[in-house]
Amino acid sequence: MMTKRIALLRGLAIAASVGTLMIAAGCASRPPENSVLMPARSERAVSELDHGAIAAEYERQAAIDAATAKRHFGYAITYRRNRTPASGVEVHETLAQHCENLARSYEHTANENLLIAKIHRQMAKPAN
């Protein structure tokens, strides 16, 4: 009886660990695409079309960042919902806070990208 209970607990612990690792892998972040090229393109922008294209690129990146933020907030909710004493309440809270921090960072980046896009949209308007 006791060995069955130990085997069951081990199985649950392994399942919880695998699930945690899969969710944690989703919390990994990567830098925005083309982030190295954008300053160089911005420095060379002279025409209305140049600025419009750059604005569109910043808006596209802002949308990606906003979606990533939303996804990370969802991960935080999942960590908190799935915590149990057996899987470590503190561990789940730490992971949830990590995901929330990433989400706030992505939200901030999205807002900054929208601000830069707005400036380029203004620069794309013909001077009167």
**The residue type at 62:** A
> Rounded mean pLDDT of the chain?
77
pLDDT of residue 4: 60
**Is the predicted pLDDT of residue 26 greater than 90, yes or no?**
no
State the DSSP string of 84-124: -TTT-HHHHHHHHHHHHHHHHHHHHHHHHHHHHHHHHHHHH
DSSP category for residue 125: S
86 versus 44: which is more confidently predicted? 86
Q: Give tens-digit pLDDT for 28-73.
A: 545 445 554 455 455 565 667 778 889 999 999 999 999 999 999 9
* Cβ partners under 8 Å of residue 80, min gap 6: 92, 93, 96
Confidence of residue 86 (pLDDT cuts 50, 70, 90): confident
For the chain, what percent of residues have pLDDT higher than 90? 42
6 versus 72: which is more confidently predicted? 72
**Tokens linked to 28:** 């990994």
86 versus 24: which is more confidently predicted? 86
Confidence of residue 7 (pLDDT cuts 50, 70, 90): low
pLDDT of residue 49: 78
94 versus 17: which is more confidently predicted? 94
Nearest to 76 by CA among 55, 52, 100, 58: 100
Please state, in angstroms and rounded to a whole number, the distance separating the CA atoms of residues 118 and 122.
6
